[in-house]
Structure 1
């Protein structure tokens, strides 16, 4: 069994659902866990559950939505257990509305918890990991962010932003022993169960896909149970993990790396006109040959190589 003995983890949003499942499995494998959640005494109950099984845990009720809260969560890990080796940034909320009807509170509250929350906890955690020369950071994105979901514009924007944040952390952390990846989990949680599917009659293409999905059996067992996500998440924060700068999907028992790619495209020999773009549109959109830049400079290098062929 992969051991986490001696490791210290922070799991945000761990009072229930995915976060609780992560915290329990980490503790079962010997990790000291800071269980963070602002919901009542949910964090305390999970910490007590871990202690009852012989594990070590501390409960945090600080909010990730503030810099003070984020720092307090990480400081608790260091004060209680001497260090922080693992961060699973999982806390989240959902606000649903048509894009043109979203009010500012629907936007700000979601961005504050998801995207700014990832900064608030991630920065002090990264600093501590960098000092000690070791760390595993796992941020929670969503297929809603990378692929889209009706009536979830603020949630999708925040989750897509987390991918950019994690990619940058991965580049900065690699040489310091700090690895950073992203997980896109699909699970039946209290947040997921609150999704309003009334959009189906207004967004017909996505609605049709949902109807086909609901008519198709997913195989044995409840594959949307959080336990189906846990193995991937725990592997991504283990000592054995060597991958960084990755995005991984856990969807109903299918585990897959998700790639952000560019088409080969068309390299203009000179400053193009609008008509030139239109004339080469098929080539620009052709996804038959894909490249996967791992930084902005990788993309620029690919462009330089394409331009060299024009010489």
Structure 2
């Protein structure tokens, strides 16, 4: 199967360098028309020119994704130019790493504004367009720091898990409109990782090795509600699961019973990836009914 994106319009945020640039180039190589968004006008235009020099179509637009009015202006410009938006890659991000004890609340808020609110702003600006055209592919950028935690990144981790929650619901709401929403968890050497990892490791983590995952998630046959992890040419999927659990009841010793049976509660044998949030309640009612039958 050869993925083709001919005549599709893709907005890639934070595309003036690093992962975003590689995503933009990879989508352009498959025929997509690219909107290169970045905070800086010069980096954005440089990438757009790189795409045009290779025979593709691209325009640049500099703005902060945390500014909804500016994002709306960008999307209006795209609609005037090409009349549609098929793909949105929410890639823009910043780092302000410190332990939680030393972190200023302003640094927490700034990271949330770019990663989470930026993703909300861009998605909101294209959502009705995609609904009306009955087609859309949206990629959130999550991180292992959000999925699994990382020392000194409470702000970044919180934002990166938040976009997964956003993905989960938007995938459900967009399903009947053929809008598929997924998340990418990249491991790559970029400006944001300089000084964090040894150089010999960074050399193996080229951003170019991640972008094929974005191409797949933006394709017509893309899945939805998938967390695709990618780095150094390796690809995995991550999952939020629910164990079968144990019925404890509401007796006075319930907390003590939880403590005594916690290993059983946590047993992942037969765990599930819920289709939606209601699965938790369904599992709990099932456990209750099974306990009553044994009663």
TM range (shorter): over 0.9
- Give the Cα separation in 1 of the matches to 2:264 and 2:210: 38
Is the contact made by 1:34 and 1:76 (CA closer than 8 Å) also made in structure 2? Answer: no
Shift of 1:300: 1.5
- Give the Cα separation in 1 of the matches to 2:207 and 2:106: 29
TM-score (structure 2 length as normaliser): 0.93
Partner of 1:297: 278
Shift of 1:194: 4.4
Is the contact made by 1:58 and 1:80 (CA closer than 8 Å) also made in structure 2? Answer: no
Partner of 1:256: 236
Shift of 1:98: 1.2
Runs of 4+ in 1 over 3 A off after TM superposition: 269-272
Shift of 1:295: 1.2
- Give the Cα separation in 1 of the matches to 2:235 and 2:133: 31
| Residue range with higher mean Cα deviation, 63-72 or 81-90 | 63-72
Query: Where does the alignment leave 5 or more consecutive residues of structure 1 unmatched?
Result: 198-213
- Give the Cα separation in 1 of the matches to 2:249 and 2:99: 43
The 5 A counterparts of 1:158-197 are: 158-195=159-196
TM-score (structure 1 length as normaliser): 0.89
- Give the Cα separation in 1 of the matches to 2:97 and 2:183: 23
- Give the Cα separation in 1 of the matches to 2:195 and 2:129: 36
Partner of 1:274: 255
Superposed CA RMSD in Å reads 1.7
The 5 A counterparts of 1:51-62 are: 51-62=52-63
Is the contact made by 2:41 and 2:60 (CA closer than 8 Å) also made in structure 1? Answer: no
- Give the Cα separation in 2 of the matches to 1:42 and 1:102: 30
Is the contact made by 1:263 and 1:286 (CA closer than 8 Å) also made in structure 2? Answer: yes
Partner of 1:80: 81
Distance 1:180 1:139, change over 3 A: same
Query: Where does the alignment leave 5 or more consecutive residues of structure 2 unmatched?
Result: none
Partner SS for 1:224? coil
- Give the Cα separation in 2 of the matches to 1:77 and 1:245: 26
Shift of 1:285: 2.1
- Give the Cα separation in 1 of the matches to 2:93 and 2:260: 45
Deviation readout 1:57-106 (Å, 9 max, x if unpaired)? 11010110111122223222212111000000000000011111100221
Task: Count the aligned residue pairs.
Answer: 289
Partner of 1:238: 219
Partner of 2:30: 29
